[in-house]
Amino acid sequence: MTVTGSSMEPTITSSDIIVVDTTKTQPVVGDIVSYHHTFEENQRFIVTHRIVGVEIGGYRTKGDAYTKADGYIVSPENVIGVMCFKIPYLGELVHFAGTSKGLLLLVIFPALTLIVQELREIIRLIER
């Protein structure tokens, strides 16, 4: 998963990619979990925060960059999984790929290069 915010810095930054284990069904205090959360105006997001407590109905979470816990309880059915590890700096490439320059440099230009190479090969085979 890519990270977009700064709530988990310095543990996780927006330039990191995190790998989440979706099979771990019983996260514990200290685990970093990704979960679905609906904010105002029914905007549903995936949030990645650390579990700081277990309460009736779910988990209390907090971003490492914050001093206070989140003002809501995360129900177990909203938990996507537990973070296993992160890949530093790969998120920058993913974020860049989402821009028009990134699309051009990482997708369109390489695709055109492959097409030109294949056309040259086809023409070379036809001329034989």
List, for residues 42-98, the tens digit of each pLDDT value.
Answer: 888 999 999 999 999 999 999 999 999 999 999 999 999 999 999 998 888 888 888
Q: From CA 20, how far away is CA 60, in angstroms rounded?
A: 19
> What ranges do the domains of the chain cover?
17-90, 98-127
Check whether the bond before 10 is cis (ω within 30° of 0). yes
The reported pTM is 0.77
